[in-house]
Amino acid sequence: MKDASPTSPASGGKFVISRTFDAPRALVWQAWTDAAHLARWFGPKGSTLSTCSLDLRPGGICHYCMRTRDGHEMWGKWVFREIVAPEKLVLVSSFSDARGGLTRHPLNANWPLETLSTTTFTEVAGRTTLTIEWAPLNATEIERKTFDENHDGMRMGWGGTMEQLAAYLSKS
């Protein structure tokens, strides 16, 4: 597996991270788009999904509860905008409550209420490169600034998530 360096354009506003997995695209796509699979690996290293429902269709929702090592729970929600199986997912990501209502980041009130995420899956010779582009959506200036200033934390969180996906794929 190879990590590519996350990059952000000089103008700010976008976070990009990629990783290449020793797995075919169909398997990586399934791990990312099936709730039973997603619940086994998604989240920063050391976290688990205690709840995960996923309705994979434009307008459909993925609603999940992530539990950290210390037992803290954070709910999240994705609303799918575009699905091009097995190549691309476009979704709006947000923190939520247990009922699926939008909430602020539990640790940072200036985090964007919603972000736009585009995930692409590219296969070459049986290996799949997954690339995530993530940006604030309908954000205020302070929310955009907060997002831009937290790229290091995002790199760590997504890096751990990619490690968990790599471990899961190696067992599949």
- Of the candidate ranges 8-22, 25-39, 50-64, 152-166, the one whose mean pLDDT is the lowest: 8-22
The percentage of the chain sitting over the pLDDT mark of 90, rounded to a whole number, equals: 87
d(CA 167, CA 161): 10
What's 11's DSSP letter? T
State residue 12's pLDDT score. 57
Residue 161 clears pLDDT 60, i.e. is over it: yes
State residue 128's pLDDT score. 98
Which CATH number applies to 2-171? 3.30.530.20
Which amino acid would we find at residue 112?
A: P
Alpha carbon separation from 34 to 46, 53, 56, 108, 118 (Å, rounded): 21, 9, 8, 29, 17
The burial of 171, by beta-carbon neighbours within 10 Å (0-12 exposed, 13-18 middle, 19 or more buried), is given as exposed
State residue 46's pLDDT score. 84
- Of the candidate ranges 7-11, 20-24, 131-135, the one whose mean pLDDT is the lowest: 7-11
d(CA 86, CA 149): 32
Residues 6+ apart with CB under 8 A from 88: 82, 118, 119, 120, 121
**How do the domains of the chain map onto residue ranges?**
2-171
d(CA 97, CA 168): 27
d(CA 171, CA 87): 23
Give the count of alpha carbons within 13 A of 57, CB side only: 2
CB 112 within 8 A of CB 134: no
To the nearest 10°, report the CA torsion of 28, 53, 89, 68: -70
Residue 104 clears pLDDT 50, i.e. is over it: yes
Residue 5 clears pLDDT 80, i.e. is over it: no
Task: Provide the whole-model pTM.
Answer: 0.90
State residue 21's pLDDT score. 98
